[in-house]
Amino acid sequence: MEEHGEGTMSESIPTELILEIFAKIPTKWLFQIRCICKRWYNLINNDPCLPTMHLAQSTTSEEEALILTHWFHVKHRKSTLKFITESPNPILEFPNVGRYDLENSCHGLLCFAKCGKEEEAILSNPLKHELHILPRSTALSRWPQFTRYGLGFDSSSKIYKIVRIFFRDFDWTNRGYQLGAEVYTMGSVGQWRDIVRVPHYPLYRRGVYTNGILHWLVNYEFTHDDDLKSMVVSFDFKKEEFNSIPHPEFSSKNSNWFELVDLRRYLGMVDFSLGTHIEIWKLKDYEKKEWVREYKIDIHPLDGMPINQCIEVVGVIGEDEILLKHFDMLVVYSSKTGGLRSIQTLSGGLDMDAPQVYVHKGSLVSLSL
Amino acid sequence: MITFKSYDGETFDIDETVAVELKTIKHMMEDGCAGNEIPVPNVTGKILAKVIEYCKKHVESGKAEDQAASDDLKAWDADFVKVDQATLFDIILAANYLDIKSLLDLTCQTVADMIKGKTPEEIRRTFGITNDFTPEEEEGIRRENQWAFE
């Protein structure tokens, strides 16, 4: 089968078919084979159709998950992204000083928001070393440190949009706070559009994007148990509407005990409220809103520490393998064996804070849209 | 029964249910452009035989719905693509011209799997591709994405 080819792939195959083949190759390998020849380099780097073709294929295939670490240098106050490999070279360096939080990822693009009073949102495709700072909105927030950003894709107009949810003001007559929401369309001339119907509750960070919809937990600091029907708020990028997603009946309605996680195209909800173990629910049928209890992880935190303060569910990294972060240790849970194994201890040196860890599904999507 | 005639004059008699798997042919038949004998000018007899074999098998198996039948078909597909490289690429071209999506997907996936897991040098050797980068240029590209090689 593998003979010395007579230049089969170089001349006789038309570009459209080479792209069909490339679209079926996982991202990591595509970046490797860029160096094969100039034709392949140009196609993988610059072909305008390939990112979309590749994205369509990768949603059905089980592409290998990449693990990113997000470091903050305490002295220089600079953030960097790296892979958890031997290589010390960062894949991305944030241009401005300050801490950033990952808001969500969508189609291999990451959306970050600066922590603190100075609002700044950044989009990046780290694999392509691309970074784009979004224009600032003119609508000021009373508490900018609670502003949420979210990136999504409108499948009907085929454009990327960013939603911004912020505190307009304090309103004594109603709930005490007044939220605002805006949308920015990538490729547009820099205008944030107002959305009239805002979410009922402020949102907690780290949204999960699935089915064209971005999901967040309500921010527990601002919610009262009795009013709350659901802890999960959604934003539909096509309709530009906020909604509520029903979830299983939990013993607690305090979103502090929960976490949303991306279970490879499914929305996942982590329940830390049980104390003795962690349960992860999967929204198996999005239309019918049917949840199943998919994982049950026996993990014991250090004495005295609440489980949700030392353990984080990072994401799915393999066939039924979940990556967890236990302080500065990366641990993998295998649902097949029910066992846990440490894979790495994260240490960046004296001046580095413990990093954030993300499971990243790479793509070729370019920010120069 | 429809008759296909390949580029090199070989004829094949096939059932209409199989013929419509080749979307290009199906459209010709619907538009009334197809007579008794349909010429397939871009495809040789050898390749057309393979394409027809694939379509026949998939039409037959389409009726069975259980997991075992599906697994059998997958195994059959895996064997089907065990051909020399030149034939594989000819099938890709034919599947594209004749618009047989599942065959195109299968053959392109086969090539993608051949590429995955090989070093760049092995890939160039396997597919007979000349490296038109200078060593410095190639080194620069590798350094851009060091992580991909780890």
Three-state secondary structure readout of chain A:
CCCCCCCHHHHHCCHHHHHHHHHCCCHHHHHHHHHCCHHHHHHHHHCCCHHHHHHHHHCCCCCCCEEEEEEEECCCCEEEEEECCCCCCCCEECCCCCCEEEEEEECCEEEEEECCCCCCEEEEEHHHCEEEECCCCCCCCCCHHHCEEEEEEECCCCEEEEEEEEEEEEECCCCEEEEEEEEEECCCCCCEEEECCCCCCCECCCCEEECCEEEEEECHHHCCCCCCCCCEEEEECCCCEEEEECCCCCCCCCHHHEEEEECCCCEEEEECCCCCCEEEEEEEECCCCEEEEEEEECCCCCCCCCHHHHEEEEEEEECCEEEEEECCEEEEEECCCCCEEEEEECCCCCCECCCEEEEECCCCCCCCC
Q: How many CB atoms lie within 10 A of CB A77?
A: 12
Bridge partners of A214, per DSSP, are A209, A235
User: Distances in Å between the alpha carbon of B147 and those of A44, A65, A81, A128, A160?
Assistant: 17, 13, 12, 12, 27
* A223/chain B closest Cα distance in angstroms: 43
Query: Digits of tens for pLDDT over chain B (150 positions)?
Result: 888 889 898 989 888 888 888 888 888 878 877 677 888 888 999 999 999 999 999 988 876 678 888 888 999 999 999 999 999 999 999 999 999 999 999 999 999 999 988 989 999 999 889 999 999 999 999 988 888 887
pLDDT at res. A3:
41
* Interchain proximity B120–A35, CB inside 8 Å: yes
How far is B101 from chain A, CA to nearest CA, in Å? 11
CB contact under 8 A, B112 and A25: yes
User: In chain B, which residue's Cα lies nearest the Cα of A81?
Assistant: B147
By the CB < 8 Å criterion, does A292 face chain B? Answer: no
> How would residue A64 be classed by pLDDT, with cut points 50, 70 and 90?
confident
The model carries a pTM of 0.90
The values of phi and psi at residue A313, to 5°, are -90, 110
Kindly state whether A56 is in contact with chain B, defined as any CB-CB distance less than 8 angstroms.
no
Provide the 3-class DSSP secondary structure of residue B13. strand
- pLDDT value of position A174: 66
ipTM, 2 dp: 0.92
